[in-house]
Amino acid sequence: MEETIELLEAAQDDDGYLSTYYQIDAPHLKFRRLFESHELYCIGHLIEAAIAYKEATGSGRLLQIADKAIDCIEARFGKSEGKIDGSDGHQEIELALVRLYESTGNRKYLDLSSYFLEVRGQNPHFFAEQLEENDRLGLQQGPKPVINTVYHQAHKPVIEQDSARGHAVRLVYMAQAMAGAGRHKQDEKLIGAAKKIWENIVQKRMYITGGIGSTVRGEAFTYDYDLPNDLMYCETCAAIGLLNFSNELLKTETDSQYADIMERTLYNSIISGMALDGKHFFYVNPLEVDPQASAENPDKSHVKATRPSWFGCACCPPNLARTLPAVGGYAFTQKEDEVLLNLFIDSELAGEQAGEPYTIRQKHTVSETGQTVIAVEKASSEQLRLGIRIPYWAENPVLVVDGQETVAESSNGYTYVTVISDSMAIELTYTIAINEIEAHPLVKADKGKVALQRGPFIYCLEEQDNGIQLHLLALTGSVRPRFRSDKLLGDSVFLEAEGELQVMEDGWQGKLYRVHQKPQTIPKMLTFIPYYNWGNRSLGEMQVWVDKEDTHV
Amino acid sequence: MEETIELLEAAQDDDGYLSTYYQIDAPHLKFRRLFESHELYCIGHLIEAAIAYKEATGSGRLLQIADKAIDCIEARFGKSEGKIDGSDGHQEIELALVRLYESTGNRKYLDLSSYFLEVRGQNPHFFAEQLEENDRLGLQQGPKPVINTVYHQAHKPVIEQDSARGHAVRLVYMAQAMAGAGRHKQDEKLIGAAKKIWENIVQKRMYITGGIGSTVRGEAFTYDYDLPNDLMYCETCAAIGLLNFSNELLKTETDSQYADIMERTLYNSIISGMALDGKHFFYVNPLEVDPQASAENPDKSHVKATRPSWFGCACCPPNLARTLPAVGGYAFTQKEDEVLLNLFIDSELAGEQAGEPYTIRQKHTVSETGQTVIAVEKASSEQLRLGIRIPYWAENPVLVVDGQETVAESSNGYTYVTVISDSMAIELTYTIAINEIEAHPLVKADKGKVALQRGPFIYCLEEQDNGIQLHLLALTGSVRPRFRSDKLLGDSVFLEAEGELQVMEDGWQGKLYRVHQKPQTIPKMLTFIPYYNWGNRSLGEMQVWVDKEDTHV
């Protein structure tokens, strides 16, 4: 790491500019092709890396580089005469600057973030005008790319954007910054706009796995309820972005709906992005895969049936790599007047209250029932208010505080325990629901189908357990968990369900169409594995949504 | 027309070369970019036009231009030293040369067609090598396009191609030439290869409308049973190509299976290509359309919900325009020893037998039953064998010959009447089946669905008759015809069917997923219109395949 930092120090221009492509290959085009240059996007990630490095090692050396780069950006961007009055084509620096403000308390970072949020979409022609100017100045000629302002969320001011449109990663990165900047500036309009976008996503444009982006073309959102299972994009980075956006809103407003989505994305569409070997990655996280379709139908060529080891555009693997060690930060939310426990993961929080330290440790065991044991220790004599999320999938939750079964006060999905003494032992037990979930009737792709969910985990069928032609299967009866130790998949809970298989009669030989006959079926036990585990065995079909035959029940 | 011919005469080079783009803009690249140049493709269409012009007017003036162009091609292409040993990137001239051989009896045309068929795919690198040579000679430099040889059916010799791959129009044009050249040369291998391709299409890769091409990317076939209804291409030209390919095989082998497909394509995917006003056209003929999807999901931007008035690449409208007046040629097939009546369309055939003329007139009336009255008159004293196709959708057919109900000899789907006297009156009556058709279970897109077919016509639901969200409808009961005279759609037979509508309960407000509940439905009468008639009213949804609820029956 120190070696990399040295390289960055050496590469950075005196004025703080840092983007080796432009420094070496096209210095005359610095900040002049913002629609695609990713110059500020990369500085945004540099800022985030610098904060993490500081937190992990105490060293501010990377932060100095980031700070110098920000000086350069501040000198070049803004409303004053001679400055560039516009933003990057790929949002990221906005959220990074909010983080840096939180880390340093220096208001100038928040102001710069706000500037980039405010300037976006004010002049929808900004990117195109840059290219025209380059042409006029003879800096770059030739055919000008067509700018799709919606793709960049630059079609109108961010505060007026009330649905999720354009490139999915860009949108959630931007919305996260809106929520964060809005919170720090107590800007209700900005927070309100961020919430509108969030509601549009989770109520109308999100896959059951927490994946987002219904099309590969533009890696983008499409329209309400348009959620095709085999054509979608569901980029790992987009799910991570939705996790962070939800986390930001949770900081703004205590409501477990945000933690529900954090959990949905993290436990499904995010961790599915990495193979169990930790060395292979999905960029695209589909809900239905047929290897033949991926190979022979070019509309599905972006849908990989196994995880490649790397990508030309390698944003997702490192994004996952930085998210997983940061999971503790999602498990707890520290607010001024309360601490929230959001996710049930072995973890520990160290905080300060009235200048005195406290720690909260949680230990999570799960089989057919789940148990979370929480130990709080604190030095201050002040009360500590701990909100524990009772997830929507936890049945018959029982809270035991210092050995006493307790019915605690609940609000917005959190149950509150007030820690008065210097230590407290809290135990939450619950049974884990297994549910057949259906999608809104306007989701055409899921009509007549259900997905299985156990606790926070979405399940799927794989060819390895159920044979080929998964679409011929249907659920007909009850579902039960089975604890399995699999050589390739490790220890996990499979689901076994009563189902049926549509039989292909011999009469079909040589025919493509015939007069309808009632389908012939035979009973068949179906095996489901957790979605995050798919694609870890041989090449095969996978399917999340399964036909549901209600008539048999 | 004479004016256009004059222009062509003036434009043609002395050596017969004719392609104004290359003559004016890139003479150094004549016949040097065959993968995309369409030079021979255009001459192919010129040949076909010239034959039609000769037949219609008796004038051979256009044929002279075509013949001079063929001289040029013969001089430039072939196995000898210094000649180009390859074929065009878009097949067409092969079938046109077969037609010209049939029209003139001049064997050289058949030989040139055979040459192009034989050379194709012998050297799969031919197209790429042309580009490399241009580069080497300094004729055209820069990045070389990547050649997809499968797209051009140039990946292996045509005789070894046993499935329908690549660009759909190119494939059926090539296969039509294979069948035609094979027949004239009595080349059983070539005929066998053509038949294998045909069987692969109609048994595994053809939509119920007769449309072909499952993807817009490469306007191509994909793989067996992959027939998505809302992503497909189903270009009008491709259906016309399948009509002509089937017609060619029918000439080779008397079997009504070929006429069945001619009828399926013509009555559905072909005539759907033109609006009832005769002035607007589909390039792409989908089986399911949602105008919002076409507008807001770029994967479906090629699927138009209404017929535009023209296209940048305007092959389909004139292809339709030349096919419709030629329908009489598909209704009858004249063979050496028999005449086949394939399609029930008011039409007349004038032929010759033993040097004496004969005429066959058919008059077709249709309501709930169909009646075809056939009048044969002939001058020769020889017997005339007339095969009348009994379509698979005709129920209880009754044949009356000169007033006598007759059970005639049948073979391969044709019922034979031998005309002995100088005139004969034949009457065929039948009831027209209305059927719920299902697709092979491996067609994932159609699982649990049926399409309605009345006689040769496939039906569809439109939003105008059934409201929005067509996917929430299902068929539950019986179907009956209703004769309707519609202001916009003219006189046609609608179908009315007992069905149901899935109700959206209020509980869905603000939710995207929930624990599954048995769907609530209300009964609803569904109205179907003939598929060829769709898209002639206001913008709206359309759907051919409809959910089928077997449990209610």
B216 touches chain A (CB under 8 A): yes
Tens digit of pLDDT at every position of chain A (553 positions): 899 999 999 999 999 999 999 999 999 999 999 999 999 999 999 999 999 999 999 999 999 999 999 999 999 999 999 999 999 999 999 999 999 999 999 999 999 999 999 999 999 999 999 999 999 999 998 888 999 999 999 999 999 999 999 999 999 999 999 999 999 999 999 999 999 999 999 999 999 999 999 999 999 999 999 999 999 999 999 999 999 999 999 999 999 999 999 999 999 999 999 999 999 999 999 999 999 999 999 999 999 999 998 777 888 999 999 999 999 999 999 998 899 999 999 999 999 988 999 999 999 988 778 999 999 999 998 999 999 999 999 999 999 999 999 998 999 999 999 999 999 999 999 999 999 999 999 999 999 999 999 999 999 999 999 999 999 999 999 999 999 988 889 889 999 999 999 999 888 999 999 999 999 999 999 999 999 999 999 999 999 999 999 864 4
Instruction: Determine contact, residues A322/A296, Cβ cutoff 8 Å.
Output: no
- E strand or H helix that includes residue B260: helix B256-264
Which positions in chain A touch B146 (Cβ < 8 Å)? none
Q: Which helix (H) or strand (E) holds B64?
A: helix B61-76
Q: Say if residue B140 is in the same domain as residue B48.
A: yes
Residue in B closest to A435 by C-alpha: B515
- Residue A553 confidence (pLDDT): 42
Taking the CA of residue A350 as centre, how many other CA atoms within 13 Å lie in the half-sphere pointing to its CB?
A: 1
ipTM of the complex model: 0.96
Chain A residues inside the 8 Å CB shell of B448: 448, 519, 547
Find chain B residues with C-beta within 8 A of A504's C-beta.
441-442
B29 near A CB under 8 A: no
Q: Which of A48, A219, A263, A288 is catalytic?
A: A219
Residue B355 backbone class (left: φ over 0; alpha: ψ -120 to 50; beta: rest): left
pLDDT at B553: 42
Contact flag A204-B512 (C-beta cutoff 8 Å): yes
Taking residues B22-27, what's their average pLDDT? 96
**Minimum Cα–Cα distance from A227: chain B residue:** B297
Same-domain status, B448 and B422: no
Enumerate residues 441 to 470 of chain A having a beta carbon within 8 A of any beta carbon in chain B.
441-444, 447-448, 450, 469
Q: Which of A315, A427, A436, A496 is catalytic?
A: A315
Quote the pLDDT of residue A470. Answer: 98
Binned at pLDDT 50, 70 and 90, residue B487 comes out as confident
Identify residue A524 by its one-letter amino acid code.
K
Radius of gyration of chain B (CA): 25
Last residue of a domain, one of B432, B465, B492: B432
The reported pLDDT for the residue numbered B236 is 97
Strand partners, B423: B377
- Neighbouring CB atoms inside 10 A of A109's CB total 22
Q: What is the DSSP string of A450-471?
A: EEEEETTEEEEEEHHHH-S-GG
* C-alpha dist (Å) from residue A341 to A329, A393, A428, B441: 10, 16, 12, 49
Q: Name the one residue in this structure whose structure tokens are 């015809």.
A: B481
What tokens does A182 get?
């809005």
Number of A to B CB contacts under 8 A, please give it.
148
Instruction: Write out the H or E segment, with its range, that includes residue A546.
Output: strand A546-548
B24 and B125 share a domain? Answer: yes
Which two tokens mark A496? 């076994």
Residues of A in contact with B299 (CB under 8 A): 215-217, 228, 231, 299
CATH of the domain at A343: 2.60.40
The domain boundary residue, chosen from B332, B365, B381: B332
Establish whether B219 is a catalytic residue: yes
pLDDT score for A310: 79
Residue A248: active-site member: no
Percentage of residues of chain B with pLDDT beyond 70: 99
Other CB atoms within 10 Å distance of the CB of residue A200: 18
pLDDT tens track for A219-232? 999 999 999 999 99
Averaged pLDDT, B41-46: 98
Asked if B214 lies within 8 A of A435 by C-beta distance, the reply is: no
pLDDT 10s digits, B538-548: 999 999 999 99
Predicted confidence (pLDDT) per residue in B55-104, tens digit: 999 999 999 999 999 999 999 999 999 999 999 999 999 999 999 999 99
A342–chain B nearest CA distance, Å: 21
Which residue in chain A is spatially nearest to B292 when comparing CA positions?
Answer: A223
B231 in contact with chain A, both atoms CB, cutoff 8 A: yes
Distance separating the N- and C-terminal Cα atoms of chain A = 60
- Is A214 contained in some domain? yes
Residues B314 and B382 in one domain: no
**Does A424 fall in a domain?**
yes
Do A92 and A121 have their domain in common?
A: yes
| Active-site residue, from B315, B382, B436, B498 | B315
Is the minimum CB–CB distance between B551 and chain A shorter than 8 Å? yes
Q: For A469, which of B293, B442, B514 is closest by C-beta distance?
A: B442
Q: Reduced to 3 states, what is the DSSP secondary structure of residue A17?
A: coil
B313 plus B344 within the same structural domain: no
DSSP class per residue in A114-180: HHHHHHTTTSTTHHHHHHHHHHHTTSS-SPPPPP-TTTTT-SS-GGG--S--SBHHHHHHHHHHHHH
The nearest CA of chain B is from the CA of A421 a distance in Å of 41
Query: Which structural domain range is residue A385 located in?
Result: 333-432
Tell me which of B286, B317, B332 is where a domain ends.
Answer: B332
Distance from CA of A481 to the nearest CA of B (A): 18
- Band (pLDDT 50/70/90 cuts) for residue B312 is confident
Compute the nearest-CA separation of B341 from chain A (Å). Answer: 24
B247 touches chain A (CB under 8 A): no
A10 within some domain: yes
Q: Which helix (H) or strand (E) holds A347?
A: strand A347-353
Task: Give chain B's domain count.
Answer: 4
pLDDT exceeds cutoff 90 at B298: yes
Tell me if B439 and A513 make a contact (CB, 8 A cut-off): yes
**Do both A380 and A410 map to the same domain?**
yes
Q: Å from A232 to nearest chain B CA?
A: 10
Q: Does A214 touch chain B (CB under 8 A)?
A: yes
- Give the whole-angstrom CA distance, residue B233 versus residue B221: 9
Q: Tokens 């983008």 sit at which residue? A: A220
Write down the pLDDT at residue B533.
Answer: 96
Q: Are residues A404 and A443 both part of a single domain?
A: no
Q: B448, A547: Cβ pair inside 8 Å?
A: yes
Taking CA–CA distances from A469, the nearest residue in chain B reads B442
> Minimal Cα–Cα distance from A437 to chain B, Å?
4
Q: Tell if the CB–CB gap between A215 and B299 is shorter than 8 Å.
A: yes
The token pair that represents B413 in the structure block: 């789907």
Q: Is there a contact between A55 and A152 (Cβ–Cβ < 8 Å)? A: no
Q: Is residue B473 very low, low, confident or very high in pLDDT (cuts 50, 70, 90)?
A: very high
The answer to whether A297 contacts B441, with C-beta atoms less than 8 Å apart, is no
Determine whether the interchain pair A447/B550 forms a contact, defined as Cβ–Cβ distance below 8 Å. no
Q: What does the pLDDT look like over A514-547, one tens digit per residue?
A: 999 999 999 999 999 999 999 999 999 999 999 9
Mutant choice from A297, A513, A543 vs B, greatest count of B C-beta within 10 A = A513
CA-based nearest distance A52→chain B, Å: 35
8 A C-beta contact, residue A195 and residue A249: yes
B336: its two tokens: 């050496």
Contact A206 B510 (CB under 8 A): no
In-domain check, residue A146 = no
Answer yes or no: do A435 and B220 touch at CB < 8 A: no
| Closest CA–CA distance from residue B298 to any residue of chain A (Å) | 6
Does B515 contact A at CB distance below 8 Å? yes
Residue B450: pLDDT above 90?
yes
CB contact under 8 A, B511 and A440: yes
- Do A107 and A220 lie in a common domain? no
The beta-carbon neighbor of B439 closest among A437, A438, A512 is: A512
Q: Is B283 exposed, middle or buried (0-12, 13-18, 19+ CB in 10 A)?
A: buried
CA distance A343 to A250: 13
pLDDT of residue B310: 79
Secondary structure (3-state) at A370: strand
User: Three-state SS across B386-426?
Assistant: EEEECCCCEEEEEEEECCEEECCCEECCEEEEEECCCEEEE
Q: Is the dihedral of CA B478, B479, B482, B488 positive or negative?
A: positive
Same domain, A191 and A297: yes
3-class state of residue A19 by DSSP: coil
- The CATH number of whichever domain residue A227 belongs to comes to 1.50.10.20
Asked whether the beta carbons of B69 and B12 are under 8 A apart, the reply is: yes
The answer to whether residue B547 neighbours chain A at the CB level (below 8 Å) is yes
Could you tell me the sign of the dihedral formed by the alpha carbons of B182, B188, B190, B194, in that order? Answer: positive
Mean predicted lDDT score pLDDT of chain B: 96
- B186 in the same domain as B138: no
* Nearest Cα to Cα of residue B162 among B197, B189, B191, B201: B197
Are the beta carbons of A206 and B512 separated by less than 8 Å? yes
Closest CA to B414 of B490, B357, B491, B335: B335
Residues of A with CB below 8 A from B472's CB? 441, 447
Residues in chain B within 8 Å Cβ distance of A548? 516
Say whether both B245 and B388 belong to one domain.
Answer: no
CB contact under 8 Å between B472 and A517, yes or no, is no
